[in-house]
Amino acid sequence: MEIKEILKKLVSFNTIKDKDNKELMDFIEEYLKKYKFKIERIEKCLVASNGDNPNIAFIGHTDTVDYESWDGDPFTVREEENKLIGLGTCDMKGGIAAILSAISTMNLEKQRIALYFTNDEETSFAGIKKICELIKEPNILIGEPTDNIPVYGTKGLLGLNINFYGKKVHSSIPEKGVNAIYECMDFIDKLRLFYKEDLMKDVDNDFKVPYTSMNIGMITGGETENSVPGKCSITVDFRINKDSDIDKIIVFVKELLKNYKAELIIKNKVRPKLNNSDISFIENLSTTKETANYFTEASFIESSNIIILGPGPVTAHEKNEYITFESLMECENLYTNIINYYNE
């Protein structure tokens, strides 16, 4: 099965919020069985290996984000000039297609590899959280899109949900109530000041955005226009630059919330991941070491040698997401070289 056909098959499964997770994992399982891989299904994840004590593992998530105003069918790969357009082609079914195709060309009597295919990466990382303790291989390859440039570090993540509670009354007598939206707005003003005066000034140049970034992504509150709202909720997303920022933020938020009737829920708390491995052994691979401001499954894994590498260009989460055929073929070749190196 050629690499382009593998990619088309993977894209044909609607894995938005893991809808066709079982069908996609069934396809991967049947494919790998042809090459005598031992398969284990762990809830919605698939774990495979072709021998004992492999020295390298590949990790890839199978879910995708949703799409908006797509041209044509997002679950059918459309070829335009050199582009392979389809939902998930870049993030990250292209990387999965490259590793599956690479396996078909290897001498599997000599090349030992473990494979971990996860679910729910785009929302709560439920898949990698479920299986991360199983990943013992010393060298890890993650197929996130990088335009075939090796990425050796990704930021950490601190995700907070905060509920503010007021006192609901009729809108004609607002002074007798406590407006939870106003309470939330007051908190946001103080949190943004902390972000600008502290986090943004604490610079570390390991990342292109050289400080811990903050985004308030969701806010919900109130029930009707003629009632003072009794509850308001926000989500806050921090992409962590330095380990110490996690505790700094939590301490600040907890102290600030003492001024409000509020509930803090820490949804995610994961450290940044930096890897200083030497990748100069890979022929024709850029020796430039780059990091990513986004967060990946790498941060859940204990192994110190992690390379994040996948085809491009990087069009993840974009309308009419695509990769080029040349980049996909190059990625397969790079995966083969990396796996061969770690199995010498």
Tell me the DSSP string of 202-238: S--TTSSS-S-EEEEEEEEE-S-TTB--SEEEEEEEE
* Upstream peptide bond of 54 is cis (omega within 30 degrees of 0): no
Residue identified by tokens 């055929």 is 325
User: Which residue intervals of 221-324 are DSSP H helices?
Assistant: 243-257
Residue identified by tokens 């990342």 is 207
Distance, in Å, from the CA atom of 92 to the CA atom of 110, rounded to the nearest integer, reads 27
Q: Give me the residue spans of the domains in the chain.
A: 3-154+272-342, 156-270
156-270 has which fold?
A: Alpha-Beta Plaits (3.30.70)
Q: Which residues pair with 216 in a beta bridge?
A: 236
To the nearest 10°, report the CA torsion of 274, 97, 315, 317.
-90
- Which superfamily does 3-154+272-342 belong to? Zn peptidases (3.40.630.10)
Active-site residue set? 63, 121
* Upstream peptide bond of 92 is cis (omega within 30 degrees of 0): yes
Quote the pTM value.
Answer: 0.84
| pLDDT tens, the chain, 344 aa long | 899 999 999 999 999 999 999 999 999 999 999 999 999 999 999 999 998 999 999 999 999 999 989 999 999 999 998 999 999 999 999 999 999 999 999 988 889 999 999 999 998 899 999 999 999 999 999 999 999 988 888 899 999 999 999 999 999 999 999 999 999 999 999 999 999 999 999 998 888 899 999 999 999 999 999 999 999 999 999 999 999 999 999 999 999 999 999 999 999 898 888 876 666 666 555 556 688 888 889 888 887 788 899 999 999 999 999 999 999 999 999 999 999 888 87
Residue identified by tokens 């505790």 is 247
